[in-house]
Amino acid sequence: MTFEDLKPKVTYIISNSVLSRDEKLLKICELLNNSIEYYNWVGFYFANLETKTLHLGPYVGAETDHKIIPYGKGICGQVAVSNENFVVPDVAAQDNYIACSFTVKSEIVVPLFVNGENIGQIDIDSHVINPFTTADERFLEFVNQEIAKLY
């Protein structure tokens, strides 16, 4: 399924008035995980602006011990500070990478902005080296723009 095919499905999930916000986020995780072959872990982290930490939200994939991540630590923590997308073609080449599983080969993290403030991010791990393209970035930015409507 192409990113263009997925966009209306994401919009439909966001507009579902029966589901809670966390249920919608989980459905989006499931949709992306099931629709894009190289998306092997899909989840959200949300910022606690006072403590400068990220807290794990809904996700699909292997269990993770990384439920709270300090700003600046790992890929997610760096995105919390930089406010910019971070594509890691090969996690083994990253100095500030928090290993979740030996099966993870690459990662993409895209910040989630609400009213210009970075409140969290979508985080995707892949078991493939270097699968993420600019098209993934633009699609995940779209996903986060839709999710921002929930806040």
3-148 has CATH 1.10.1040.10 classification: no
Q: Give residue 120's region: left, alpha or beta (phi > 0; psi -120 to 50).
A: left
Question: In whole angstroms, what is the distance from residue 80 CA to residue 142 CA?
Answer: 18
The pLDDT of residue 23 is 98
User: How many Å apart are CA 34 and CA 41, to the nearest integer?
Assistant: 10
**Confidence class for position 16, pLDDT limits 50, 70, 90:** very high
Structure-block tokens of residue 38: 């190289």
22 pLDDT band, cuts 50/70/90, is very high
Look up tokens 């910022």; give the residue.
47
Domain segments of the chain: what residues? 3-148
* Residue located via tokens 């902005």: 113
Beta bridge partners of 124: 42, 108
Q: Is-contact 11 31, C-beta < 8 A?
A: no
Q: Which pair of structure tokens corresponds to residue 72?
A: 């600046």
* pLDDT, tens only, 69-85: 999 999 999 999 999 99
Task: State the Cα–Cα distance between residues 44 and 149, nearest whole angstrom.
Answer: 15
Contact assessment for residue 45 and residue 123, using Cβ atoms and an 8 Å cutoff: yes
| CA-based R_g, the chain, Å | 14
CA dist., res. 3 & res. 62, Å (int): 24
At residue 96, the pLDDT reads: 58
For the full predicted model, state whether its pTM sits above 0.85: yes
Burial class (CB in 10 A: 0-12, 13-18, 19+), 4: exposed
Q: What is the 8-class DSSP label of residue 51?
A: T
